[in-house]
Amino acid sequence: MRYNYLLLVIFAFLLRSTLLAQQTIPLYDNDQIPNWNSSFNQEQTRIIDVPTGKARFITNVIKPELSIYLPEENNFKAAVILCPGGGYYGLAIDHEGHDVAKKLNEFGIAVFVLKYRMPQESYFENKRVVPLQDVQRAIQYVRANALNFRIDSDKIGVAGFSAGGHLAASAGVHFTKQFQPAPIHNNSRPDFMLLVYPVISFQDGLTHRGSANNLIGTFGSQEKDTLNADDVYFYSNELQVDMNTPPTFLVHALDDQVVPVENSLLFSAALRQEAVEVETFFYKTGGHGFGMYNTSYELNWIDAFVNWLKAYYTEFD
């Protein structure tokens, strides 16, 4: 009997640990989602091919959520708010989201996967600020609850892949502007950034035009459409860097034909110009969308990122 009771206690502890390790919460109450102007439609999920197999791609994201991954050991007490890519049309939620979160947990880093809203004109007013509202809300929420998550409030960074990298970088250069109508916490500045094959610029010849069209043009518009010059400037993050931009780790493949590597090169140069800490990790080959693993190489960028982050905080703490 005592043996069975002990097994029950152990099972309950393991179950509790699992629940603590990953739960999903709404980013807003339904009646408080900012800029909403229509009834909700059902989001859609399809399976896509990725370099490591199959993964989910979610479109029509209207109700934003935050999936919380807390590591078993978190002596480092750092956290990352993670923005998957998808061209501001959908989210590669697994290989650029949940899979990355689980891996970073192994290094003792807490991760909050952000399922952010897509900038759809039919559902939201001023759609171009909607993703920024969500990432700011996530930063504010995590920072306000840092004690509960057993993380340090000054070690909360953002990470993003492709268009998610654009969103993360936008959070890093526009943190002095408040896009939240009712902020949880005044400080929206990320403490560091991880940007993987990121869209940085909306300038012609540099950008991923689909991402630019979806965020600041007519949703689903054609490449021939002209984008507003002020919006192009505002969302070209390499033009918005200053000395207060967070330290950044950049990952890109030189042969990326979807998002040119010049996006990372220009952002790195802008950061160095302002004396902001920056580290670059370039693959010679690998293309776009490889997620955590560039299968052409044994060397993994995620190990280099963790080493850089821990070294940065060791040096500056």
CB-CB neighbours of 65 under 10 Å: 17
Distances (CA, A) of 285 to 208, 240, 254, 264: 19, 29, 6, 15
Q: What phi and psi values does residue 72 have, to the nearest 5 degrees?
A: -65, -40
Query: Cα–Cα distance between 142 and 155 in angstroms, integer?
Result: 11
- CATH number where 69 lies: 3.40.50.1820
Distances (CA, A) of 247 to 78, 147, 214, 277: 14, 23, 28, 5
Question: 9-36: string of b/e by CB count within 10 Å (b at 16+)?
Answer: eeeeeeeeeeeebbeeeebbeeeebbbb
**Tens digits of per-residue pLDDT, 207-226?**
999 999 999 996 445 545 67
Each residue's pLDDT expressed in tens, for the chain with a length of 317 residues: 443 333 333 333 333 344 444 799 999 987 789 998 877 778 898 888 877 778 899 999 989 999 999 999 888 999 999 999 999 999 999 999 999 999 999 999 999 999 999 998 888 889 999 999 999 999 999 999 999 999 999 999 999 999 999 999 999 999 999 898 777 776 899 999 999 999 999 999 999 999 999 999 964 455 456 789 999 999 999 999 999 999 999 999 999 999 999 999 999 999 999 999 999 999 999 999 999 999 889 889 999 999 999 999 987 55
The strand ranges marked E within the chain are 22-26, 44-50, 53-59, 65-69, 79-83, 90-91, 110-115, 156-161, 193-196, 248-253, 278-283
Range of the domain at 210: 2-316
Q: Exposed, middle or buried: residue 187 (CB in 10 Å: 0-12, 13-18, 19+)?
A: middle
For residue 210, the model assigns a pLDDT of 92
Q: Which residues pair with 85 in a beta bridge?
A: none
Using the structure block, give the residue that is written with the tokens 């952000």: 114
Distances (CA, A) of 312 to 59, 114, 255, 292: 36, 25, 29, 21
pTM greater than 0.85: yes
CB-CB neighbours of 185 under 10 Å: 17
Distances (CA, A) of 251 to 82, 161, 262, 275: 15, 9, 12, 19
Query: Cα–Cα distance between 128 and 249 in angstroms, integer?
Result: 26
Query: Cα–Cα distance between 292 and 302 in angstroms, integer?
Result: 7
DSSP letter, residue 98: I
**Tens digits of per-residue pLDDT, 12-56?**
333 334 444 479 999 998 778 999 887 777 889 888 887 777 889
Pairing state between β 193-196 and 248-253: parallel
At position 136, the amino acid (one-letter code) is: Q
CB-CB neighbours of 77 under 10 Å: 18
Please give the angle made by the CA atoms of 65, 302 and 157, to the nearest 5 degrees: 45
**Residue 223 has which token pair?**
């490449």
Q: Which residues pair with 59 in a beta bridge?
A: 44, 90
- How many domains is the chain partitioned into structurally? 1
Query: Cα–Cα distance between 135 and 166 in angstroms, integer?
Result: 11
